[in-house]
């Protein structure tokens, strides 16, 4: 029996969605679903829910839990990753509260920015441990990464880890449907092209029956900006730079130097920016799970409808050789010609029996490539810090981050990095 290993299987609802999709996919019925998580209680709960789902769907997949990560990985053909190192408490709290002492406010802090840098630094060593195990027990497996910071972690697994990896993010899938719904437009029959970097990919083309829909999109967006709504940052970026960006306004507010500024606090209200949004979501999710847990685990007839997650569709395309198109995060092997070759980019990819094949994009519009490079700079220096263990590269990454550098002086940034290193304690490797 072939094996699909799921690392971070204690993320019960996400495991249900992804592995529930597998159970509903005919081509994947003979796979063992190998579950691993460092939280034994959450692992047991996920296994119980998935056994209930197996019975209700009539799936012939085997569900098996492992306390040994290497054994969970042994012989796997596919590995799904959904870990969060350090969790909400203490690490996410640290990522938000320490910068606040310097007057540096964030919304999500999971991609770039000072929070994204430190999430990377505590996650990369764990990912490299995964890669080490995989090179020993399943070297040919395809690693499907759902963990943020997406671009850096996918980059590290492909390069330093030596593992064939594609990063999967929801933002490309929902970009056009969300935009059209918010503007009262019908997306039926609409064609689009998206490329860039994770959480800052661009809607380069959007047409229907050959007609460019951007003029109408921009007209409606300008009208909508007259009143407060939840996507004001992205609409402003589109007005100034010409294109709509894939990831949400709360994310993009902290990827740029323009929106969250101490000296202009009125911008927070003007662009309806939800500061401290991710901690709120974490608390709500924790409380929601307490309420949902008993209902999910006790439901012996639990149902599942195949979701829009890419994982099962990627595996199905490989197993059946029926092509499927995704937006994937892959290394920039000449795909986007005006972004660095060392970067991880997000581009359309074709999946079939030969695996995941990225498509050529060429040059992005110059202003979009320039915005991407501001984030790539911090990404690449964060990788350098993690792989060399040199603290100076943490400083470099933070000094080049657009939001951090717009708010703090050089001395403040260095001091903040030192405080975050100390606050993370054993969650971070030693830096010299």
Given a contact cutoff of 8 angstroms between Cβ atoms, the answer to whether 77 and 46 are in contact is no
Given a contact cutoff of 8 angstroms between Cβ atoms, the answer to whether 416 and 102 are in contact is yes
H/E element, 130: helix 113-137
Q: What is the pTM of this model?
A: 0.98
Encoded tokens for 246: 């894939």
What are residue 127's phi and psi, to 5 degrees? -65, -40
Which residues are registered as beta bridge partners of 193? 205
Residues 6+ apart with CB under 8 A from 349: 166, 325, 326, 327, 328, 330, 356, 357, 358, 359
Tell me, yes or no, whether 63 lies in a domain.
yes
Tell me, yes or no, whether 125 lies in a domain.
yes
- Per residue, the 3-state secondary structure of 328-360, as one string, reads EEEECCCCECCCCCCCEEEEEEEEECCEEEECC
What are residue 260's phi and psi, to 5 degrees? -105, 100
Q: Could you tell me whether strands 142-145 and 165-167 are parallel, antiparallel, or unpaired per DSSP bridges?
A: parallel
Query: How does residue 294 score in pLDDT terms, banded at 50, 70 and 90?
Result: confident
Q: Provide the number of structural domains found in the chain.
A: 1
Encoded tokens for 224: 């909508």
Tell me, yes or no, whether 331 lies in a domain.
no
> Per residue in 5-14, pLDDT tens?
999 999 999 9
Alpha-carbon distance of 367 to 338, in angstroms, equals: 11
Query: How does residue 25 score in pLDDT terms, banded at 50, 70 and 90?
Result: very high
Which CATH number does the domain housing residue 43 bear? 3.40.50.720
Tell me, yes or no, whether 229 lies in a domain.
no
pLDDT at residue 383, rounded to an integer:
98
Which one of 170, 178, 304, 396 is the catalytic residue? 170
> Per residue in 308-317, pLDDT tens?
999 999 999 9
**Residue 170 designated active-site:** yes
Which value, to the nearest 10 degrees, does the dihedral of the CA atoms of residues 328, 321, 307, 297 take?
Answer: -110
Range name among 74-83, 164-173, 215-224, 299-308 with the lowest pLDDT average: 299-308
- Across the chain, mean pLDDT equals 97
Tell me, yes or no, whether 134 lies in a domain.
yes
Domain that holds residue 159: 2-89+109-167
Given a contact cutoff of 8 angstroms between Cβ atoms, the answer to whether 38 and 9 are in contact is no
Contacts 24+ apart (CB under 8 A), 268-276: 270/232, 271/232, 271/233, 271/236, 272/228, 272/229, 272/230, 272/232, 273/107, 273/233, 273/249, 274/107, 274/250, 275/105, 275/106, 275/107, 276/96, 276/105, 276/106, 276/107
């Amino acid at each position: 029996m072939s094996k699909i290993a799921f690392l971070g299987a204690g993320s019960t609802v996400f495991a249900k969605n992804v592995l529930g999709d597998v159970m509903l996919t005919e081509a994947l019925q003979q796979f063992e679903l190998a579950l691993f998580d460092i939280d034994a209680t959450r692992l047991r709960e996920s296994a119980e829910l998935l056994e209930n789902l197996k019975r209700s769907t009539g799936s012939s997949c085997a569900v098996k839990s492992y306390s040994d990560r290497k054994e969970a990985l042994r012989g796997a053909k596919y590995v799904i990753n959904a870990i969060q190192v350090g969790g909400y408490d203490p690490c996410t709290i640290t990522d938000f509260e320490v910068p606040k002492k310097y007057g540096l406010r964030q919304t999500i802090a999971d991609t770039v920015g000072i929070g994204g840098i430190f999430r990377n630094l505590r996650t990369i060593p764990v990912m490299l441990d995964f890669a080490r195990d995989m090179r020993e027990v399943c070297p040919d497996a395809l690693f499907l990464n759902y963990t943020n910071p997406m671009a850096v972690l996918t980059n590290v697994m492909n390069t330093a880890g030596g593992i064939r990896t594609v990063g999967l993010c929801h933002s490309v899938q929902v970009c056009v449907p969300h935009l059209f719904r918010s503007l009262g437009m019908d997306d039926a029959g609409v064609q689009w092209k998206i490329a860039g970097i994770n959480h800052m990919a661009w809607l380069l083309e959007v047409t229907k029956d050959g007609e460019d829909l951007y003029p109408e999109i921009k007209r409606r967006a300008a009208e909508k900006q007259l009143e407060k709504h939840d996507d004001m940052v992205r609409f402003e970026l589109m007005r100034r730079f010409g294109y709509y960006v894939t990831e949400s306004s709360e994310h993009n507010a902290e990827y740029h130097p323009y929106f969250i500024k101490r000296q202009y606090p009125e911008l927070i209200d003007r662009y309806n920016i939800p500061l401290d949004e991710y901690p709120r979501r974490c608390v709500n999710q924790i409380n929601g799970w307490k309420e949902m847990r008993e209902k999910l685990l006790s439901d012996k007839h639990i149902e599942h409808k195949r979701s829009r997650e890419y994982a099962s569709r990627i595996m199905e395309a490989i197993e059946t050789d029926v092509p499927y198109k995704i937006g994937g995060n892959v290394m920039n092997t000449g795909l986007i010609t005006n972004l660095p070759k060392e970067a991880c980019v997000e581009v359309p990819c074709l999946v079939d029996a030969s695996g995941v094949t990225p498509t050529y994009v060429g040059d992005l519009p110059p202003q979009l490539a320039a915005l991407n490079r501001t984030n790539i700079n911090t990404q690449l220096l964060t990788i350098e810090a993690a792989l060399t263990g040199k603290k100076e590269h943490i400083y470099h990454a933070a000094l080049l981050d657009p939001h951090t550098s717009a708010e703090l002086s050089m001395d403040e940034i260095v001091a903040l990095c030192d405080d975050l290193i100390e606050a993370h304690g054993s969650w971070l490797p030693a830096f010299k």
